[in-house]
Amino acid sequence: MKYDLIFYMSKKTSYCEKALRRSLSAIGGEPHRIVGATAPTELGAQVSRSLSVCPMAVIIGGFGSDEDDNLATVLSRVFSNSALTLDNMRRLSCESGAAGYIVRYKSQILLALPDSPRDISDMLTDDLLSYIKDKLSD
């Protein structure tokens, strides 16, 4: 299963990439493309491009800002104008209190994770990985 990795205002990119690869390789995940985005419009273009070629896009970073470019704020704005419902979205958390999100629409998944390798590993539990694998193989 191919996925695109998008770093959005992320800092620990190589460590986060390693943690993500390690977790997703357990379900056959391989990165197709790795890119960066520094603004909400650029992020939107990258996600759109990613989901046009891969069943899953993973965004790492962007939760640290208190501004309008915070990833949670950006996702909220995007999904308030879409056909998605809360049934398609799930908030992820871990022991540190960091947040992430998984959004499923039809046969695609958008995974948004914090830019902390430890938090990424903690969030990508066996149950979540199983869910991703099942939904992408439907």
Residue 78 has pLDDT above 80, yes or no: no
Distance CA 138, CA 105 (A): 12
Helices 40-53 and 71-80 cross at an angle (nearest 10°) of: 60
Residue 30, domain extent: 2-136
Are residues 55 and 104 in contact, defined by beta-carbon separation less than 8 angstroms?
A: no
Write the pLDDT tens digit of every residue in 93-106: 999 999 999 998 88
pTM surpassing 0.85? yes
Q: What is the pLDDT of residue 71?
A: 86
Q: What is the pLDDT of residue 132?
A: 95
What domain count does the chain have? 1
- Cα-based torsion angle of the residue sequence 47, 4, 18, 130 in order, rounded to the nearest 10 degrees: 100
Q: Can you give the CATH number for the domain in which 47 is found? A: 3.40.980.10
Write the pLDDT tens digit of every residue in 25-70: 999 999 999 999 999 989 989 998 999 999 999 999 998 877 888 8
DSSP 108: E
